[in-house]
């Protein structure tokens, strides 16, 4: 069964926002990855983005994970109200491909499904209704 979690985008203040959420909900971050942590071949953002958040995850209750990142230089700025995606974690590569293909029909596949340096099979798209989606399969989760 696929799992759905919110993914938030910020214009350079992800760390501040997630520290605020942590102060409200309590708990600990499951992951914090900065742009400087990406391999050089994957690091496409500006040099000044190194300390910005590439990915952060924060468990909220049972099964829900709030995730987020800063928008790197050279990408369109996050716009309040539309600065989020729905992240779907599929049970298999096949399910991820099926979900991605279905959602991408009539939409725009911004990043086709592919293996990533962090170990997930991952893709991003905007569906025909303008909703941002991230689809992934993490073999370590299976």
Kindly tell me if the per-residue pLDDT of 38 is higher than 90.
no
Q: Which of 24-38, 41-55, 78-92, 122-136 has the lowest mean pLDDT?
A: 41-55
Q: Mark whether 14 and 71 lie in a shared domain.
A: yes
22, 71: one domain: yes
Same domain, 69 and 41: yes
Please state the pTM of the whole predicted model: 0.80
**CATH code where residue 50 lies:** 3.10.180.10
Domain contains 36: yes
CA end-to-end distance (rounded Å), the chain: 11
| Boundaries of domain holding 31 | 8-84
pLDDT at 65: 95
* Number of domains the chain contains: 2
Res 28: pLDDT: 96
């Amino acid at each position: 069964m696929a799992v759905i979690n919110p993914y938030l985008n910020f214009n350079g203040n992800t760390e501040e926002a997630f520290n605020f959420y942590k102060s409200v909900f309590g708990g600990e971050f499951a992951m914090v990855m900065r742009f400087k942590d990406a391999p050089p071949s994957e690091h496409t953002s500006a040099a000044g983005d190194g300390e910005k958040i590439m990915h952060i995850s924060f468990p909220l209750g049972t099964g829900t994970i709030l995730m987020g990142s800063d928008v790197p230089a050279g990408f369109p700025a996050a716009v309040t109200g539309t600065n989020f995606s729905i992240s779907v974690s599929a049970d298999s590569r096949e399910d991820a491909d099926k979900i991605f293909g279905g959602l991408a029909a009539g939409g725009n596949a911004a990043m086709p499904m592919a293996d990533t340096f962090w170990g997930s099979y991952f893709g991003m798209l905007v569906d025909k209704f303008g909703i941002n989606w991230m689809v992934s399969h993490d073999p370590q989760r299976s």
